[in-house]
Amino acid sequence: MAENEKKKKNEKTSNSSKKNNTKKKVNTEKKSTNGEKKDTKIVNTDKKVSAKKVVKSEETNKSVELNKEEPRIEKAKAEKKANLKEARKQLYYSNNNEGDEFSKLFKIVLIVTAIIVVFYGVTVVVTDKADEARKEAESEKTEIQYDSIMIGSMLNINGSFYVLITDSDDIRLNEYTTMIQTIKANEDAPTIYTADLSNAFNKEYLSDKTNYDSDIEKFRVKGTTLVRVKDHKIEEVYDSYDDIIKKLGELD
């Protein structure tokens, strides 16, 4: 009995020791587990620290890269700004050049127009003057033709008048013509006709000897002669320069 009780005690003791050992093991395992957890925490902390370091290094690298890129960006911005400024400048100059070209073209058009207007005005004035001169010449020509007669028909005209028979070679012919025109300008001027010896119908009355007969077939002159005719007869004859000038002066 006593031995059984000792065995039981020993079994209890061994069981309790086993339990204690088991508890110790469990505690030890727990401790080890806690240690592992601590280690895990340490590892995790290290990972976080390393991750932070990596992030910081990346940020540092980025900042370095950004710092490196900033001059390039600034340079690019400056170039872009300069290009934009140059483009605006070119556009401004282009617009100004176009304006200048248009202004020059407008001025050229105005000058050409002014020249055309002036030329047209001058042409009109010259044409008008030419027309007036032509009309005046035609009028004078008509008047001369009206006042010019043939020597052969001068005794057929009624009334009293004068006939200046002219020699185209006479150097004083212009003087005679001027005096006659002055006389005709008067209201009460006498009628004065002219007869040109160079005319084919009057050449036969030019001769080396004079004959102032009223018979027209016998009538002859040597050169410029002023004849007064009245009632189909020759009344007076002036055949020298002095006599012609004197008589024309009296008629004025």
Taking only the tens place, the pLDDT of each residue in 170-219 is 999 999 999 999 999 998 899 999 999 999 999 999 999 999 999 999 99
Rounded distance between C-alpha atoms, residue 183 and residue 29, angstroms: 167
What H or E segment, with its residue span, contains residue 238? strand 233-238
What is the share, in percent, of the chain residues with pLDDT greater than 90?
A: 39
Q: Compute the mean pLDDT over every residue in the chain, rounded to the nearest whole number.
A: 76
Stretch 123-140: mean pLDDT, rounded? 70
Residues 148-251, CATH architecture: 3-Layer(aba) Sandwich (3.40)
Taking only the tens place, the pLDDT of each residue in 40-80 is 444 455 555 555 555 556 666 666 565 666 677 777 778 87
pLDDT at 161 > cutoff 60: yes
Rounded distance between C-alpha atoms, residue 66 and residue 70, angstroms: 6
Quote the tokens at residue 80: 């872009």
- Supply the pLDDT for residue 28: 46
Beta bridge partners of 234: 229
Q: What is the DSSP string of 42-60?
A: HHHHHHHHHHHHHHHHHHH
The answer to whether the beta carbons of residues 232 and 201 sit under 8 Å apart is no
- Supply the pLDDT for residue 225: 96
Residue 78, SS3 per DSSP: helix
Residue 15 CA: distances (Å) to CA of 12, 46, 141, 215? 5, 44, 177, 207
Q: How many CB atoms sit inside 10 A of residue 229's CB?
A: 22
The answer to whether the beta carbons of residues 244 and 162 sit under 8 Å apart is no
pTM given for the model: 0.44
pLDDT at 5 > cutoff 70: no
Residue 197, SS3 per DSSP: coil
- How much of the chain is helix, strand and coil, in % rounded to 5? 70, 10, 20
Top pLDDT among 3 and 127 is at: 127
- Supply the pLDDT for residue 68: 62
Helix 173-184 to helix 241-251 angle, to the nearest 10 degrees? 10
- Supply the pLDDT for residue 97: 63
Rounded distance between C-alpha atoms, residue 154 and residue 19, angstroms: 191
pLDDT at 31 > cutoff 50: no
How many helices (DSSP H) and strands (DSSP E) are in the chain? 3, 4
Among 2-11, 81-90, 127-136, name the most confident range.
Answer: 81-90
- Supply the pLDDT for residue 217: 93
